[in-house]
Every structure is written in structure tokens, then in C-alpha cells.
Amino acid sequence: MANVPDDLKYSKDHEWVRSLGKGQVQVGITDHAQRQLGDIVYVELPKTGDRLDQYEPFGSVESVKAVSEIFMPLTGRISAVNESLNDEPEQVNTDPFGDGWLVQVELSDPKALDGLLTAAEYRDFIQQDSSD
């Protein structure tokens, strides 16, 4: 079973969101997603300052199996990008909830966090998805 930390929020597109306070969040892909992708060899991310809407693609992750788009879980402006992934994209595999984070976002509406899945809801979602 994939690791699903209880202190994060989740999207049905398999991104996790960590509140950093003051309307800032950190975003990455879930353990489940990185397992499905396999060994990640390249990560394409947006530029700091880019403004993105919820569900809009904001980058891609390339693995030995496929290239997958990453979708913005909430509307906001990119306030930081994890530049270390340029040289070490495998951090998304080895530490998806830590060093493998993708972007930090200044949210347009911090209350939108409430619309994301809880850890329990995400666990149910991936279990349902796996059994289909």
C-alpha cells in the first residue's frame, strides 16, 4: 500500500498539498503516483511567478515508462520551484513528500484547500481505482 501521510491534502490527479501557512502551499506527486510511473528521469516545472488555475497542467514528469502531466490542485501563483530536481529528478521517487516536492504556490483562495481530499478519502480513492 502506498504511503499517504495524514497531515496532507490530496487531489484525484495524485498530487499532494502541504499547507505552509499564510496562504502558501507546497505541491508534489503522491507515493502512489511515483510508484505507478516508475523511475523518474526528468521533471519539467513552471517558472516562478507563473499564475495557474486549478486543474491546469503545470509541468510533466518523465519516467522510463511514460511522460505524465502534472495538474495544479489549486489556483494560485508559483512562488518557488524545486530547482534541485533538474539535477536529481529521482528525488520524486526516493522522497516524494520531502526533497521530491515540485512547487510552492501562493493560493488565490486559501479556503480552497478544504475542497481537496483528506488522507482517508485519498486512500479510499486509490483503493477503488486499483480494484476497477
Host H or E run for residue 73: none
4 inside domain: no
pLDDT at 60: 97
1 found inside a domain: no
On whether residue 13 sits in a domain, the answer given is: yes
pTM confidence score: 0.95
CB 94, CB 36: distance < 8 Å: no
Q: Is 86's pLDDT higher than 80? A: yes
- The answer to whether position 3 is within a domain reads no
* Structure confidence at residue 132 as a pLDDT band (50, 70, 90): low
Instruction: Note whether residue 114 is domain-resident.
Output: yes
CATH number at residue 114: 2.40.50.100
Query: Quick check: is 113 in a domain?
Result: yes
Domain count, the chain: 1
Average pLDDT value for residue range 19-39: 96
